[in-house]
Amino acid sequence: MATVPLLTDDQLSPEAAAVFADIRAVRQTDYVNNFWRAMANDPATLKATWERLKAIMGPGALDPLTKEMLYIAVSVANACEYCVHSHTASARAKGMSDEMYGELLAVVGMASQTNALSTAMQVPVDERFRV
Amino acid sequence: MATVPLLTDDQLSPEAAAVFADIRAVRQTDYVNNFWRAMANDPATLKATWERLKAIMGPGALDPLTKEMLYIAVSVANACEYCVHSHTASARAKGMSDEMYGELLAVVGMASQTNALSTAMQVPVDERFRV
Amino acid sequence: MATVPLLTDDQLSPEAAAVFADIRAVRQTDYVNNFWRAMANDPATLKATWERLKAIMGPGALDPLTKEMLYIAVSVANACEYCVHSHTASARAKGMSDEMYGELLAVVGMASQTNALSTAMQVPVDERFRV
Amino acid sequence: MATVPLLTDDQLSPEAAAVFADIRAVRQTDYVNNFWRAMANDPATLKATWERLKAIMGPGALDPLTKEMLYIAVSVANACEYCVHSHTASARAKGMSDEMYGELLAVVGMASQTNALSTAMQVPVDERFRV
Amino acid sequence: MATVPLLTDDQLSPEAAAVFADIRAVRQTDYVNNFWRAMANDPATLKATWERLKAIMGPGALDPLTKEMLYIAVSVANACEYCVHSHTASARAKGMSDEMYGELLAVVGMASQTNALSTAMQVPVDERFRV
Amino acid sequence: MATVPLLTDDQLSPEAAAVFADIRAVRQTDYVNNFWRAMANDPATLKATWERLKAIMGPGALDPLTKEMLYIAVSVANACEYCVHSHTASARAKGMSDEMYGELLAVVGMASQTNALSTAMQVPVDERFRV
**pLDDT single digits (tens) D87-98:** 999 999 999 999
Look at D45 and A79 and tell me if their CB atoms are within 8 Å: no
pLDDT of residue F22: 98
In chain B, which residue ranges form alpha helices assigned H by DSSP? 14-27, 34-39, 43-57, 64-77, 81-93, 98-121
Q: Give the pLDDT score at E69.
A: 98
Q: Using the predicted structure, report yes or no on whether residue B29 has a pLDDT greater than 90.
A: yes
User: Does the pLDDT at position F85 exceed 80?
Assistant: yes
pLDDT of residue B49 exceeding 80 = yes
From the CA of A127, how many Å to the nearest CA of chain B? 10
In chain F, what residues touch D120 (CB-CB under 8 Å)?
72, 76, 84, 105, 108-109
Chain C: nearest CA to F36, how far in angstroms?
A: 21
- Average pLDDT score over chain A: 97
Residue E1 has a pLDDT of 82
DSSP assignment string, F25-65: HHHTSS---HHHHHHTTSHHHHHHHHHHHHHHHSSSSS-HH
Could you give the CA distance from residue B68 to residue B88 in angstroms, rounded to a whole number? 8
* Helix %, strand %, coil % of chain F (to 5): 70, 0, 30
pLDDT at C45: 98
Question: C110 to chain A: nearest residue by CA?
Answer: A113
Q: Provide the shortest C-alpha distance from residue A95 to chain C (in Å).
A: 18
**Touching D: E residues 38-97, CB under 8 Å:** 41-42, 44-45, 49, 74, 78-80
Distances, alpha carbon C124 to alpha carbons B131, C129, E114, in Å:
13, 11, 32
**Which pLDDT does position C130 carry in this prediction?**
83
Selection from A130, A79, A68 nearest residue A104 by Cα: A68
DSSP-H helix ranges across A1-129: 14-27, 34-39, 43-57, 64-77, 81-93, 98-121
Find the mean pLDDT for residues B51-70. Answer: 97
- Residue A128 pLDDT class (50, 70, 90 cuts): very high
Provide the mean pLDDT of chain F.
Answer: 97
Question: Pick from E56, C86, C74, E82: which is nearest to D113 by CA?
Answer: C74
Distance between terminal CA atoms of chain F? 48
The average pLDDT across A10-30 equals 98
Residues contacting residue D61 through CB under 8 Å, at least 6 positions apart: C97, C99, C100, C102, C103
Which residues in chain B have their CB less than 8 angstroms from residue A113's CB?
49
Which residue in the set D73, D82, D107 is minimally distant from C118, CB to CB?
D82
A22 at E interface, C-beta within 8 A: no
Chains in contact with D, where contact means 3 or more Cβ–Cβ distances below 8 Å, are A, B, C, E, F
* pLDDT of F130 above 90: no
Q: At what angle do helices C43-57 and C64-77 cross, to 10 degrees?
A: 120
Contacts of C21 (CB under 8 A, 6+ apart): none
Of A55, A51, A56, nearest to A71 (Cα)? A56
- Banded pLDDT at E130 (limits 50, 70, 90): confident
pLDDT reading at B61 higher than 90: yes
Mutate to test the interface with D, among B41, B42, B52 (most CBs of D within 10 A): B52
Is E116 within 8 Å of F78 when comparing Cβ atoms? yes
B4–chain C nearest CA distance, Å: 9
Whose CA is closest to D38, among D6, D74, D3?
Answer: D6
Question: Which residues in chain F touch residue A44, judged by CB atoms under 8 angstroms apart?
Answer: 55
Which domains are assigned to chain C? 1-57 (1.20.1290.10), 59-121 (1.20.1290.10)
pLDDT band at A78 (very low <50, low <70, confident <90, very high): very high
- Predicted complex ipTM: 0.97
pLDDT of amino acid A1: 82
How far is the C-alpha of F71 from the C-alpha of E114, rounded, in Å? Answer: 10
DSSP annotation of D124 reads P
Q: How confident is the model at residue B1 (pLDDT cuts 50, 70, 90)?
A: confident
Q: Which residues contact B114 (CB under 8 A, 6 or more apart)?
A: A35, A49, A53, A83, E109
Q: How far apart are CA C2 and CA C5, in angstroms?
A: 7
- pLDDT tens sequence across D68-81: 999 999 999 999 99
Q: Which residue of D has its CA nearest to A88?
A: D3
Tell which residue, A58, A57, A59, A61, has the closest CA to residue A71. A57
Q: What is the mean pLDDT of residues F7-14?
A: 98
Cβ contacts of C48 on chain E, cutoff 8 Å: 52, 55
Q: Give me the pLDDT at residue F1, please.
A: 82
- Give the best residue of F121, F128, F130 to mutate against chain E (max E CB count within 10 A): F121
Instruction: Kindly report the nearest CA distance between residue E52 and chain B, in angstroms.
Output: 25
Confidence of residue C110 (pLDDT cuts 50, 70, 90): very high
